[in-house]
Amino acid sequence: MPLAAATTRAAGNVEVRPSSIEGLGLFARRDFRAGERIRCVNVVREVTPERPLRPEAGERWDHCDYPDGRVVLIGFPDRHLNHSCDPNAYVVYEAEQSWLTARRDIPAGAEITCDYHINITGGTAWPCHCGAPRCRGSLTGDFFRLPLAVQREYRPLLADWFVRRYAARLQGRALEADRQEAGS
């Protein structure tokens, strides 16, 4: 079997194959329009003290998402979604489901990416190799440590639960960004 076929796994509208960003990535199998739902994120289960991650079964912390104070384990293929400092997609959270959604038009064959700083604070830092012209060079794991201009750009992408939990901090940052803009 050719290498490409051996390392590509299709899943509906998307496929998983080697990425220039890191390891395996999620790639579009067709064109998506800005605002279009790409797929429903595959949530395996909630991780709780009673049902912790099982490393022996390949369950990893970096495959988890943290909606509204909960920890959920993300399954194939969505766990392969890579970070970009200039993402073409984001996640829309609903009561029971979340949807990977195109932030701009995505052509078939392009890697689908999210910015890991949206809807998170207090995460861990590591170097970024996303390759975007505006790459920030590192991830902080914290929305509030993004440059203010980027925070403002991402504001419409934030989940309702994140806005609710951090309303005071978001309000403070909005004022700060306005002041910077007024002063420049």
Helices (H) and strands (E) in the chain, counts: 4, 13
Asked if 74 touches Zn ion (CB under 5 A), the answer is: no
Q: Whose Cβ is closer to Zn ion: residue 69's or residue 127's? A: 127
* Residue-level length of the chain: 184
Q: In this chain, which of 34, 135, 149, 167 binds Zn ion, going by CB under 5 A?
A: 135
Write phi, then psi, for 72 (nearest 5 degrees): -125, 145
Q: Whose Cβ is closer to Zn ion: residue 83's or residue 173's? A: 83
Q: In this chain, which of 28, 41, 64, 130 binds Zn ion, going by CB under 5 A?
A: 130
Element holding 174 (H helix, E strand): helix 167-183
Q: Whose Cβ is closer to Zn ion: residue 21's or residue 174's? A: 21
Asked if 128 touches Zn ion (CB under 5 A), the answer is: yes
Binding-residue total with Zn ion (CB under 5 A): 4
Q: Whose Cβ is closer to Zn ion: residue 108's or residue 135's? A: 135
> DSSP readout, 107-172?
-TTPEEEE-TTTT--S---EE-----TT--SEE-S-GGGS-HHHHHHHGGGS-HHHHHHTHHHHHH
Asked if 85 touches Zn ion (CB under 5 A), the answer is: yes
Interacting residues with Zn ion (CB under 5 A) = 85, 128, 130, 135
